[in-house]
Amino acid sequence: MTTRARSFDAAAALYQAHRPAYPAALFDAVEELTGRPLAGSRVADIGAGTGIATELLHARGAEVVAVEPGDGMAAEFRRSHPGIPLVRGDGDRLPLAGGAFDLLTYAQAWHWTDPARSVPEARRVLRPGGALAIWWNDLDPAVPWIAEQGGRLRDFFEGDGRLGAGGAGGAGRTGADFRTLPQGLDGFTTRSVPWSRRIRLEDHLANLASHSAFLLLGEAGTREFTDAERERLLALFPDGSVEERYVVGLSVARV
Ligand SMILES: C[S@@+](CC[C@H](N)C(=O)[O-])C[C@H]1O[C@@H](n2cnc3c(N)ncnc32)[C@H](O)[C@@H]1O
């Protein structure tokens, strides 16, 4: 794992508390595109983190196992979801038996894998006709304040070269400029699933701070950005709450 991929470990509780979940419509779309109900399906959730997606798959009745490489994220997962099985490992070397799964999910995790390894690994552990689903929750850049904030994030990280190549990463970037579909898997079908949540401004800032770009930057640099952002957003939303609007970009391929 890269330093950046490991950055979540020190901030697992912040991640679990402030990262958004996923809407029911996403799981409806997964069922539609795979042609199979989640209930009773054998699912492995790869890069499960603290279990935000795993918990929802479990609630839909999937027989789900989580796979997570990070110490801190795995510990937070076990604390938050003691009833859901987790195995340590990563997408490039799945600690799973061959042909044993109907579905693999990578919720905001595919980009941390090396497709030269993770695609063959996915093929190995899926049964014939099984499917792989990857998705990302992106703040919707069609919303003016979100687009403006995305511009400030890019300026902050890339204008000053704070993080070098890779820049803002998930904080402020969306779909096409950050993620690529796996090479070597044909026939992806895709859906965009819009949804929103209204939260306190402080929780929005904590959500931003849980992205790997800020985790690598450290506390002082993060505070510099979030303090300025608090002032700007309070002028727009004086009641101290914001509506975060998201679009989940989902892609499903069958093997
Ligand atoms: C952005 S978090 C997503 C967590 C969770 N799936 C969610 O939806 O909240 C990315 C996760 O991928 C994990 N990760 C990093 N490198 C990985 C790899 N090569 N294979 C699988 N997971 C990896 C990180 O430890 C982290 O928990």
Q: How confident is the model at residue 175 (pLDDT cuts 50, 70, 90)?
A: very low
Q: Which helix (H) or strand (E) holds 185?
A: none
Closest C-alpha among 110, 111, 137 to residue 25: 137
Count Cα atoms within 13 angstroms, Cβ side, for 14: 19
Cα of 37 vs centre of ligand 1, distance in Å, is: 25
Separation between Cα atoms, residue 154 and residue 168, nearest integer Å: 6
Q: What is the pLDDT of residue 168?
A: 52
Separation between Cα atoms, residue 181 and residue 3, nearest integer Å: 23
What do you get for the CA distance between the two ends of the chain, in Å? Answer: 26
Query: Taking CB atoms and a 6 Å cutoff, what residues make up the pocket around ligand 1?
Result: 1, 5, 8, 19, 46-49, 52-53, 68-70, 73, 90-92, 107-109, 112-113
Sequence length of the chain is 255
Closest C-alpha among 51, 46, 45 to residue 12: 51
Among 3, 46, 57, 90, the mutation site with the greatest number of ligand 1 atoms within 8 A of its Cβ is 90
Which atom belonging to ligand 1 lies closest to the Cα atom of 6?
Answer: 25
Cα angle value 120/122/124 (rounded, 5°): 70
Separation between Cα atoms, residue 242 and residue 230, nearest integer Å: 11
Which atom belonging to ligand 1 lies closest to the Cα atom of 70?
Answer: 25
Cα of 69 vs centre of ligand 1, distance in Å, is: 8
pTM: 0.92
Q: What is the pLDDT of residues 41-80, one digit of tens each?
A: 999 999 999 999 999 999 999 999 999 999 999 999 999 9
Cα of 251 vs centre of ligand 1, distance in Å, is: 17
Q: What is the pLDDT of residue 162?
A: 62
Give the chain's mean pLDDT. Answer: 91
Q: What is the pLDDT of residue 182?
A: 74
Cα of 234 vs centre of ligand 1, distance in Å, is: 32
Q: Which helix (H) or strand (E) holds 43?
A: strand 42-46
Count Cα atoms within 13 angstroms, Cβ side, for 13: 1
| Mean pLDDT of the region 185-210 | 94
Separation between Cα atoms, residue 93 and residue 119, nearest integer Å: 10
| Mean pLDDT of the region 97-125 | 96
Q: What is the pLDDT of residues 2-50, one digit of tens each?
A: 788 788 888 899 999 999 999 999 999 999 999 999 999 999 999 999 9
Among 8, 43, 93, the mutation site with the greatest number of ligand 1 atoms within 8 A of its Cβ is 8
Number of H helices and number of E strands within the chain? 11, 7
pLDDT-wise least confident of 108-122, 138-152, 178-192: 178-192
Q: How confident is the model at residue 166 (pLDDT cuts 50, 70, 90)?
A: very low
Q: What is the pLDDT of residue 177?
A: 45
Separation between Cα atoms, residue 74 and residue 62, nearest integer Å: 20
> Does the structure show a pLDDT above 50 at 185?
yes
CB 120 within 8 A of CB 90: no
* Ligand 1, atom 14: closest residue by C-alpha: 47
> Does the structure show a pLDDT above 80 at 163?
no
